[in-house]
Amino acid sequence: MSHSTLFELAFYLAAPFWALLILAPGWRWTDRIAASPLPMVPVIAVYLALAVPVFPQLWAAVSHPDLAGFQELLRLDGGAGAIWAQVIAWDLFLGQWMYREARALKIHPLVMGPLLVLTVLLSPIGVLVFLALRAAVRLRARRGPRVGTP
């Protein structure tokens, strides 16, 4: 399989799980799937298929990180693909965690849907917004209902 195909496959393997988290949050199978590490396994397999052939360059980039080393790694088809698959797997892990946390905190799916889409596209921003929302919900729960509020 070509590097290009594997690169694309990483996203397509994760996309159905993102769709469940975003579009079917109330379905009981979504809860089961979100609680499992298994959705990440195929993406990690793609990562390994891309990372193993460039392992010396990958190891050099991560064990002694500097910009030039990462630029060299990203110039390799397998290197860029491996980093992409790693990001996809990590984003899915974060999305599953956010989904479970939101369910536990009773954050409405209409709030979480767009936030999960943001996380798919720009995970650091999505996670940061979620952490702020999570903190606000927890703070409000600790304070309890306001006096005079039904």
Give pLDDT tens digits for 25-53.
999 999 999 999 999 999 999 999 999 99
pLDDT of residue 1: 85
pLDDT of residue 52: 96
pLDDT of residue 37: 92
pLDDT of residue 94: 97
Burial per residue of 71-91, b for 16 or more beta-carbon CB atoms within 10 angstroms, e otherwise: eebbebbbbbbbbbbbebbeb
- Taking the mean position of all CA atoms in its chain, how far away is CA 119? 7
Question: pLDDT under 70 in the chain at which residues?
Answer: 145-150
pLDDT of residue 143: 86
Distance (Å, rounded) from C-alpha 81 to C-alpha 70? 13
Task: Return the structure tokens found at 78.
Answer: 């397998």
pLDDT of residue 150: 57
pLDDT of residue 58: 95
pLDDT of residue 79: 95
Taking alpha carbons only, the member of 130, 80, 72, 138 closest to residue 105 is 138
Instruction: Decide if 62 contacts 87 (C-beta within 8 A).
Output: no
Q: Is this prediction's pTM over 0.75?
A: yes
Angle among Cα 60, 64, 65 to the nearest 5 degrees reads: 100
